[in-house]
Amino acid sequence: MTAIRVAIAGSSGSIGTQTLDVVRAERDSYEVVALGVGSSVDVLIRQALEFRPKVVAVADPAQRARAQQALPFAEVVADLADLADVADVVVNAVVGFAGLPVTVRTLIAGKRLALANKESLIAAGPVVQPLRSVPGAELVPVDSEHCAVHQCLRSSVASDREVSRVVLTASGGPFRGRSAASLASVEIAEALSHPTWKMGPKITIDSSTLMNKGLEVIEAHELFGTPFDQIEVVVHPQSVVHSMVEFTDGCTMAQLSMPDMRLPIGYALAYPARIGTPFGRIDWACLGRLDFEQPDTVTFRCLPLAYAAGRAGGTAPAWLSAANEVAVEAFLAGRLRWPQIADVCDEVLQRYEPGADTTVDDIIAADARARSIAAEVITIREAS
Ligand code: MG
């Protein structure tokens, strides 16, 4: 059997390094042929010396020469989207909207896209959807909830007609059960300490506001075509049930495993087969209990904001995602308080200007417009 050729865009981050863990455990099945980073060139060099990829991409021009010097066996390129040319599967683990070119180029190349970069699908749904029908192109989600839904849907023959509800689980993040008043002045470190998942800073802050879950509602709509009225969110603090699908006969399928991102990564690499390494294996005797509760949409306003943007469609999800990225950056820089992340997203959405959404450039323009309004809103808030 020839090994499946894997490219990782965003290899220095949390998903990127965990993808390398999966490959390390499954050396006979997978070969790393390409790695790409923004500017974390030291991590890239270490990874490349171990995995010997043919191509490495470094987006930051100031760091590129160092990669070239340290890795004489690899071709060094500037564009992470070029990685799709040499691989069978591209893991898109770039953070935020910057991952859009990798998503688009991978699908155009007719390759499998293992998508951890949800923002590209959410912001550019109208552009990405038609590319899914390029011959050979295939989108397999790496997001744990959508990986769960993907698995639950495999139990149904005609999934679109037989599904009555998709139920996305949410850990609730570090602030579950807290009141809005008690969250007025939380520290950055508190928002960065997730109770069940070990993830990068952007998604960890998104988990604390429930924006991550809101974006995942839009992601589920894009991936599976489920109407928003049929997508529900339930808080499940143990993060063992990764999501569920209820069918028209009342049966619910759920996918359970311990919270370990290497399971959805391995699933996306191996689908429709499964890897042999048991990441996320449950010890039932120690599991104890599984709890479920309604999300608090008054304290965590980002969740209803995402439903609203998703239902508005067009470039509204791009606006929301852009506003959120700018607000999270400002929070991490100490320029915004935690509740103001939702305030900024809300205000930017109120100023939403529907625009063209048929090309990548349309989406980039929408993203830029929303970012400039978000920056303006933040500056005004800082001054007041
Ligand atoms: Mg998720």
Per-residue pLDDT tens digits for 324-381: 999 999 999 999 999 999 999 999 999 999 999 999 999 999 999 999 999 999 999 8
Q: Tell me, yes or no, whether 195 and 321 share the same domain.
A: yes
Partners of 301 in beta bridges: none
Q: Tell me, yes or no, whether 230 and 339 share the same domain.
A: no
Measured N-to-C along each axis, helices 316-332 and 201-209 cross at an angle, to the nearest 10 degrees, of 110
Tell me what pLDDT residue 198 has. Answer: 77
Q: What is the CATH number of the domain that holds 303?
A: 1.10.1740.10
Whether residue 382 is contained in a domain is answered as: yes
Whether residue 270 is contained in a domain is answered as: yes
Whether residue 205 is contained in a domain is answered as: no
pLDDT tens per residue across span 369-383:
999 999 999 999 887
For ligand 1, an ion, list residues with CB under 5 A.
143-145
Instruction: Give the pTM.
Output: 0.96
Nearest 10 degrees: Cα torsion 15, 20, 23, 24: -140
113 CA distance to ligand 1 middle (Å): 17
- Domain closes at, from 267, 295, 323: 295
25 CA distance to ligand 1 middle (Å): 23
Q: Tell me, yes or no, whether 351 and 263 share the same domain.
A: no
Q: Tell me, yes or no, whether 310 and 329 share the same domain.
A: yes
For the segment 248-272, the average pLDDT, to the nearest whole number, is 97
Taking the C-alpha atoms of residue 210 and residue 170, their distance in angstroms, rounded to an integer, is 8
Q: Tell me, yes or no, whether 310 and 377 share the same domain.
A: yes
Where does the pLDDT of residue 72 fall: very low under 50, low under 70, confident under 90, or very high at 90 and above?
A: very high
Give me the domain span that covers residue 233.
144-172+210-295
Q: Tell me, yes or no, whether 336 and 291 share the same domain.
A: no
216 CA distance to ligand 1 middle (Å): 7
Where does the pLDDT of residue 158 fall: very low under 50, low under 70, confident under 90, or very high at 90 and above?
A: low
Counting Cβ atoms within 10 Å, is residue 73 exposed (0-12), middle (13-18) or buried (19+)?
A: exposed
pLDDT tens per residue across span 145-154:
999 999 999 9
When divided into structural domains, the chain yields a total of: 3
105 CA distance to ligand 1 middle (Å): 23
Q: Tell me, yes or no, whether 303 and 291 share the same domain.
A: no
Is the per-residue pLDDT at 159 higher than 80? no
146 CA distance to ligand 1 middle (Å): 7
Q: What is the CATH number of the domain that holds 133?
A: 3.40.50.720
